[in-house]
């Protein structure tokens, strides 16, 4: 899928009620861990966790048009901390996102433009992006794709052959 086609489809993905519901998720132990691991204040960690929830909303929405996306490095680190709380993460995915969002690490075949596309999708869906959390330059994490199931790219081909 070409970039202009992707961005044209993104406008159909805005669902403010779903975003509001996802952002209502509370698990204070997660920002606390993020603050400890990243050596930041609890306020900064709460903000970062909120941006991580927004990223997971974007994963959910991008899945509808079969677009794999990648987080920024800071969101990736925050997402790792969330995933470590396996029960909370599974509950969040089931109750707020409706399907499990798998973290798939980069195995050396990631597309370096994926973060830029991901950021542009986020900009379109969220309107404001904190540049410290969503930098404009290609600073993607070590994961090649955010996917929910079905399908899981571990056992089925990626959504599109244009991805790599």
Does an H or E element contain 73, and which? helix 73-84
Distances (CA, A) of 27 to 13, 36, 45, 49, 81: 26, 15, 12, 10, 12
pLDDT at 80 exceeding the cut of 70: yes
Three-class SS of residue 162? helix
Residue 91, phi then psi, degrees to nearest 5:
-60, -45
Residue span of the structural domain in which 134 resides: 3-163
Question: Looking at the predicted structure, is the pLDDT value of residue 86 above 60?
Answer: yes
The count of structural domains within the chain is 1
- Residue 147, number of CB atoms within 10 A of its CB: 25
The pTM (predicted TM-score) of the whole model is 0.80
Instruction: Give per-residue pLDDT as tens, 98-145.
Output: 999 998 877 766 666 888 889 999 999 998 999 999 998 755 555 544
pLDDT tier, 65 (very low <50, low <70, confident <90, very high otherwise): confident
């Amino acid at each position: 899928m070409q970039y202009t086609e992707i961005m044209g489809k993104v406008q159909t993905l805005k669902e403010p009620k779903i975003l509001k519901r996802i952002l209502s998720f509370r698990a204070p132990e997660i920002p606390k861990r993020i603050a400890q691991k990243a050596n930041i204040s609890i306020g900064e960690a709460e903000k970062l966790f909120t941006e991580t929830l927004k990223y997971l909303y974007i994963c959910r929405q991008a899945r509808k048009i079969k677009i794999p996306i990648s987080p920024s490095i800071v969101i990736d680190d925050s997402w790792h901390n969330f995933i470590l709380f396996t029960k909370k993460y599974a509950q969040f995915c089931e109750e707020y996102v409706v399907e499990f969002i798998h973290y798939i690490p980069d195995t050396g075949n990631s597309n370096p433009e994926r973060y830029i596309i991901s950021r542009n999708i986020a900009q379109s869906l969220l309107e404001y992006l904190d540049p410290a959390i969503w930098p404009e330059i290609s600073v993607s994490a070590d994961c090649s794709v955010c996917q929910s199931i079905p399908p899981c790219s571990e056992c089925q081909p990626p959504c599109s052959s244009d991805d790599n």
